[in-house]
C-alpha cells in the first residue's frame, strides 16, 4: 500500500491520483474487480508470454517507459498499476483531460527529489493522445534520464498521436479487444468473487450472451452492464440469502437496463481509421453488403457525414475512375445532399453513393496515370514548354516565338491533329493506361488512335 501514496510532507500535485485497492462498499463493480496480480488478468496473452517485455515489467525485472495502446476496457490502467507495484515505485497518475504542463513539471520535480533517495516514480498518464505537443515535450528529459518511469495509455494509434521523440523513448504495446470467451470469464468471476457479487445472483444463458454482445470486447463495459442489470435484485435484502433461492437475471432484465449495445467506434481514435479503411476496401473489392455494414457503423456512431461524403468522392476517382464516369457525379451529389439537407435524410444519399461505387466497374488507371506523371516531375523531367504552346497574348510574345506555329484543333474536321504537346524529353510518354472494364473499354480503343494522330509527324 505504501508504494501508492506519498509520505507525509512529500508534495503531491493537485491533479495526482492513485490506484489503491478499491473500497468494496462504494466502488463500482468494474473498479472492485480490477485485477490485483498477473494471475487475475484476462486476455492479452500475446503480451504476457514468458519473457515478454510486459511480463518482465510487471514481474519487476525490467525498467522501460511504456505506451499502452488499445481500445477501452482492455486493461491499460490495470497494467499501469501492476507495473507500479512490481517496480516498488511511487505511483503518480495524471489525466490528460485535466493536467497541463504545470502539473507535469510538478510531478517530475517530486520524482527528481525521490530519485535522490533511491526511489523510482511511476507516472501514469491516461489518454496521453490528448496532451499537446508542448505537454508531451515536457516529459522527454524525465523519460530519457529515467527520472520517471512513464506508463501512458491511449486509445489512438501512437504513430499519429504521440510526438516522435517520446515514441522513440518508449516501448509500444498494443492491447487487443477481449474475445467473447474472455468477456464470459470476466462476468463469471465478477458474479462469483467476494469482491464482486459474491454469488448473490445467477445469469440465464440468454442474458449472459446479451451482456457479451453489449460489451464489444470491453471488460469495463461488460461489468458496468452487469451491475446495472443486477441492481434491482441486489437492492432486495433477500437477494443472495443462503436460505433462499439465488435470483436468476434474465434477458429482459438486461434489455431493460441497457437500451442498446454502444457501437465500438471512436471518431478521433484508431477505430475511426480502421472502420474507414474497411469501408473503402469493401467498396474497392465490390462487396456492397460489407460496405453498407461499415457505412451503418459510421452513421450509427455519429461520424461526420461530410467526412463520409469526402471519402466517397475520393474513392470515386481513385478506384472507379473512368470505368464509370457517373460514379464521381453520384458521390459529389451525395456530398451536396449532406450539405443542403443534412442528417438523417442524407444517410440515404450516402447509401446510394456507396452502392453505386461498390457495384461499379473498378479502375485504378486514373490514380496510376497521375502517379506516373508526378514521378517523372519529381525525377526532374520537366523540360521547357514547346514554343508554339506558350502564351502569345502579351506584347512582344510573337517576337520571342511564343504561340508561333500553334494549330487550332477545332479547325480539323475530327477535332484532332498532329502537334507536339509535352516537353521534348517526354514525347511518347504514356501515362494513362485504360482498363478493359466499364466505360474504359471504349477509351482503350479510342486512345491509341488519338495518340497516333497527335504524335504523327507533320
Residues 12 and 70 in one domain: yes
Instruction: Tell me if 254 sits within 8 A of 210, measured CB to CB.
Output: yes
Instruction: Tell me if 183 sits within 8 A of 215, measured CB to CB.
Output: yes
Q: Cα 438 vs. chain centroid, distance in angstroms?
A: 34
Residues 157 and 216 in one domain: no
Domain end (from 174, 207, 236)? 174
Does any domain span residue 366?
A: no
pLDDT, residue 4, reads 28
Does any domain span residue 105?
A: yes
Domain count, the chain: 4
Residues 156 and 18 in one domain: yes
Q: Which residue's C-alpha cell is 451503418?
A: 296
Does any domain span residue 264?
A: no
Alpha-carbon distance of 14 to 6, in angstroms, equals: 12
Beta pairing partners, 92: 123
For 364-380, write each residue's pLDDT tens digit: 999 999 989 989 888 88
pLDDT, residue 361, reads 93
Alpha-carbon distance of 292 to 312, in angstroms, equals: 12
How is residue 385 written as a grid cell? Answer: 514548354
Beta pairing partners, 401: none
Does any domain span residue 317?
A: yes
pLDDT, residue 187, reads 95
Show Cβ contacts of residue 359 under 8 Å, excluding neighbours closer than 6 positions: 286, 288
Alpha-carbon distance of 277 to 430, in angstroms, equals: 31
Does any domain span residue 368?
A: no
SS3 category, 347? helix
How is residue 101 written as a grid cell? Answer: 504542463
Residues 157 and 15 in one domain: yes
Residues 240 and 276 in one domain: no
Residues 249 and 297 in one domain: no
Alpha-carbon distance of 5 to 329, in angstroms, equals: 63
Does any domain span residue 377?
A: no
Residue spans of alpha helices (H) in 91-218: 101-116, 133-137, 140-144, 158-161, 164-168, 180-192, 205-215
pLDDT, residue 176, reads 85
Alpha-carbon distance of 346 to 304, in angstroms, equals: 12
Alpha-carbon distance of 190 to 225, in angstroms, equals: 12
Instruction: Tell me if 125 sits within 8 A of 96, measured CB to CB.
Output: yes
Instruction: Tell me if 324 sits within 8 A of 440, measured CB to CB.
Output: no
pLDDT, residue 11, reads 42
Alpha-carbon distance of 5 to 90, in angstroms, equals: 7
Domain end (from 257, 288, 317)? 257
Beta pairing partners, 172: 67
Domain end (from 217, 234, 257)? 257
Pairing of strands 121-126, 90-95: parallel
Residues 168 and 193 in one domain: no
Alpha-carbon distance of 254 to 226, in angstroms, equals: 8
Q: Which residue's C-alpha cell is 502539473?
A: 103
pLDDT, residue 358, reads 93
Residues 122 and 204 in one domain: no
pTM, full prediction: 0.55
* Strands laid side by side in the 148-154 sheet: 90-95, 121-126, 148-154, 66-69, 171-174
Does any domain span residue 71?
A: yes
Show Cβ contacts of residue 85 under 8 Å, excluding neighbours closer than 6 positions: 3, 4
pLDDT, residue 13, reads 43
Alpha-carbon distance of 36 to 183, in angstroms, equals: 18
Residues 9 and 135 in one domain: yes
Residues 38 and 7 in one domain: yes
Angle, CA 69 vertex, CA 63 and CA 74 arms, to 5°: 100
Burial group, residue 116, by CB count within 10 angstroms (0-12, 13-18, 19+): exposed
Residue numbers of the chain with a pLDDT score lower than 50: 1-22, 239-241, 260-262, 458
Residues 140 and 195 in one domain: no
Alpha-carbon distance of 154 to 156, in angstroms, equals: 5
Residue ranges making up the domain that contains 188: 180-257
Q: What share of the chain is helix, strand, coil (3-state, %, to 5)?
A: 50, 5, 40
Selection from 343, 350, 277, 339 nearest residue 313 by Cα: 350
Residues 35 and 112 in one domain: yes
**Gyration radius of the chain's alpha carbons:** 31
Does any domain span residue 422?
A: yes
Amino acid at each position: 500500500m505504501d508504494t501508492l501514496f506519498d509520505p507525509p510532507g512529500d508534495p503531491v500535485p493537485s491533479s495526482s491520483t492513485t490506484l489503491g485497492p478499491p473500497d468494496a462498499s462504494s466502488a463500482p463493480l468494474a473498479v472492485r474487480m480490477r485485477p490485483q496480480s498477473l494471475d487475475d488478468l484476462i486476455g492479452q496473452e500475446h503480451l504476457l508470454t514468458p519473457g515478454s517485455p510486459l511480463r518482465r515489467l510487471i514481474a519487476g525485472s525490467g525498467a522501460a517507459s511504456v505506451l499502452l495502446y488499445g481500445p477501452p476496457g482492455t486493461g491499460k490502467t490495470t497494467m499501469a498499476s501492476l507495473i507500479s507495484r512490481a517496480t516498488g515505485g511511487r505511483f503518480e497518475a495524471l489525466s490528460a483531460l485535466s493536467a497541463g504542463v504545470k502539473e507535469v513539471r510538478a510531478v517530475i520535480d517530486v520524482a527528481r527529489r525521490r530519485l535522490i533517495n533511491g526511489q523510482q516514480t511511476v507516472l501514469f498518464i491516461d489518454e496521453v493522445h490528448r496532451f499537446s505537443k508542448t505537454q508531451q515535450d515536457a516529459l522527454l528529459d524525465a523519460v530519457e534520464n529515467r527520472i520517471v518511469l512513464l506508463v501512458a495509455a491511449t486509445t489512438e494509434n501512437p504513430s499519429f498521436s504521440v510526438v516522435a521523440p517520446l515514441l522513440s523513448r518508449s516501448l509500444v504495446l498494443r492491447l487487443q479487444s477481449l474475445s467473447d470467451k474472455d468477456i464470459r470469464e470476466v462476468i463469471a468471476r465478477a458474479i462469483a468473487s467476494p469482491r464482486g457479487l459474491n454469488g448473490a445472483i445467477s445469469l440465464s444463458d440468454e442474458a449472459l450472451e446479451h451482456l457479451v454482445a453489449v460489451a464489444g470486447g470491453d471488460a469495463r463495459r461488460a461489468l458496468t452492464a452487469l451491475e446495472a442489470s443486477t441492481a434491482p435484485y441486489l437492492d432486495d435484502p433477500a437477494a443472495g440469502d443462503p436460505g433462499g433461492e439465488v435470483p436468476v437475471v434474465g434477458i429482459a432484465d438486461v434489455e431493460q437496463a441497457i437500451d442498446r449495445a454502444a457501437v465500438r467506434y471512436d471518431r478521433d481514435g484508431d477505430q475511426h481509421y480502421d472502420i474507414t479503411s474497411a469501408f473503402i476496401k469493401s467498396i474497392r473489392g465490390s462487396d456492397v453488403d460489407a460496405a453498407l455494414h461499415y457505412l451503418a457503423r459510421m452513421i450509427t456512431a455519429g461520424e461526420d457525414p461530410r467526412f463520409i461524403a469526402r471519402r466517397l468522392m475520393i474513392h470515386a476517382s481513385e478506384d472507379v475512375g473512368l470505368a464509370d464516369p457517373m460514379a464521381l457525379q453520384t458521390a459529389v451529389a451525395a456530398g451536396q445532399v449532406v450539405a443542403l439537407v443534412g442528417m438523417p435524410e442524407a444517410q440515404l444519399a450516402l447509401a446510394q453513393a456507396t452502392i453505386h461505387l461498390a457495384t461499379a466497374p473498378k479502375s485504378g488507371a486514373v490514380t496510376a496515370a497521375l502517379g506516373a506523371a508526378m514521378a517523372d516531375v519529381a525525377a526532374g523531367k520537366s523540360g521547357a514548354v514547346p514554343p508554339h504552346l506558350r502564351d502569345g497574348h502579351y506584347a512582344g510574345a510573337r517576337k520571342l516565338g511564343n504561340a508561333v506555329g500553334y494549330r487550332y484543333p477545332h479547325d480539323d474536321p475530327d477535332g484532332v491533329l498532329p502537334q507536339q504537346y509535352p516537353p521534348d524529353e517526354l514525347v511518347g510518354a504514356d501515362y494513362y493506361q485504360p482498363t478493359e472494364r466499364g466505360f474504359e473499354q471504349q477509351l482503350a480503343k479510342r486512345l491509341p488512335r488519338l495518340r497516333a494522330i497527335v504524335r504523327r509527324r507533320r
